[in-house]
Chains A and B, each alone.
Chain A
């Protein structure tokens, strides 16, 4: 009786869930990891100064109104500050959620859907926020009527 030969004893033994199918040799994950650390450190400064200026300095929390925001965004310094804050916090948060989805979603289809919703939300918020910061008009004219506050130049 001939001895049966087994071609490749190990083949098919490892369930496909464990095999790294697509080997991504890019640096994306490394850059994402580095970005989280750097943006995190910058965000600490950006957020606490933002909170102090808005909630503590001057009249404190009672001083916040349309005029206060308008006044801040008339200054290019605060425009850049708030833009950086918006972009860094949105990208930092999005990447954090992306990582959580990767860790906790079991199925590839679930991952794809959750990330789709996440990226759409991010793009909408970032684009909208950027537009608001740069197109903000503190003295809008609506239907021919100028909404004049005391800080607006006389029409």
Chain B
């Protein structure tokens, strides 16, 4: 399986020691290389490079902002909240899928150029913007909403702390597509549901209040469903929320097996 061997990033180069007084933030120079693509100009993608002076508290997103606001306004990327919650700015930074707003520049190797590419496996629209529609199409298919049977309770639907804990990990998903676009199976076969859809199905399958678990398991028992997972763990490594994605997929496999066998 083509799991990418990614060199472990060296530890932080710039140490913000106690001698740094308030307001004093060390600066350093970086080279930012961004994969550019504009179908209105050329069918070929190319790399653009900028030398920037950045601060120890800056993130990759700040470097992209600096480029867009001060150097080249045509650089295109998505970002909404810029604080690791909305999941808009997943991109491939130094060969690894991460959120630009959660990746501090000082944690990367600043002696080498920092490479920023769009996430793989989805059609690139412009620069770092990809078409997320196939991703959301899979997400919609697993019915990511509460489905219940019987009478509606007069008050809230009760759930014990243990029952809530069962699917706690998969509630953290922010739909950034870092996992799905790091999956080598998804790269070659876009029909695969992908880790994100399975994680969000897991969130409802193991919810004690939900009654449509069987329907979701049946959907994921498809030939493009959970059985395409090769447990390469790329998704677990890529997840910016630290969700144990491969574990969640295995639990869904187990659930299908115990229901059928």
Contact = CB atoms under 8 A, between A and B. Distances in A.
A139 B2 CA distance: 51
A25 interface: yes
Given A18-B191, A102-B189, A24 B222 contact: yes
B56 interface: no
A40 to B, nearest CB: 14
Interface stretch (A9-17, A68-76, A143-151): A9-17
Interface string A24-51: 1101111011100000000000000000
Interface in B226-261: 227-228, 230, 253, 256-257, 260-261
Contact of B223 (A10, A19, A24, A103): A24
A29 to B, nearest CB: 4
A30 B227 CA distance: 6
B222 A20 contact: yes
A25 B257 contact: no
B185 interface: yes
Interface string A117-132: 0000000000000000
B260 A103 contact: no
Interface residues of B, number: 26
Contacts of A62: none
Given A30-B260, A106-B188, A14 B137 contact: yes
A8 interface: no
Contacts of A102: 189, 228
A29 B225 contact: yes
A14 B256 CA distance: 29
A23 interface: yes
**Contact-size category for A:** 20 to 34
Nearest to A15: B123
A29 B227 contact: yes
B190 interface: yes
Interface in B157-194: 184-185, 188-191
Contacts of B137: 14, 18-19
B133 A25 contact: no
B191 A27 contact: no
A113 interface: no
Contacts of B230: 103
B131 interface: yes
B221 interface: yes
Contacts of B253: 33
A27 B221 contact: yes
B224 interface: yes
Nearest to B225: A29
A28 B260 CA distance: 12
A104 interface: yes
B257 A30 contact: yes
B98 to A, nearest CB: 24
Given A14-B133, A106-B188, A23 B222 contact: yes
Contacts of B72: none
Contact of A33 (B131, B134, B189, B227): B227
Contacts of B256: 30
B210 interface: no
B29 interface: no
Contacts of B214: none
A13 B133 contact: yes
Given A34-B257, A103-B188, 13 more contacts: A13-B133, A14-B133, A15-B123, A15-B134, A18-B137, A24-B223, A25-B222, A28-B223, A29-B225, A30-B257, A32-B227, A33-B227, A102-B189
Closest 5 CB pairs of A and B: A18-B134, A29-B227, A18-B190, A24-B223, A33-B227
13 contacts: A13-B133, A14-B137, A20-B222, A23-B222, A27-B221, A29-B227, A30-B256, A32-B227, A102-B228, A103-B1, A103-B185, A103-B188, A104-B188
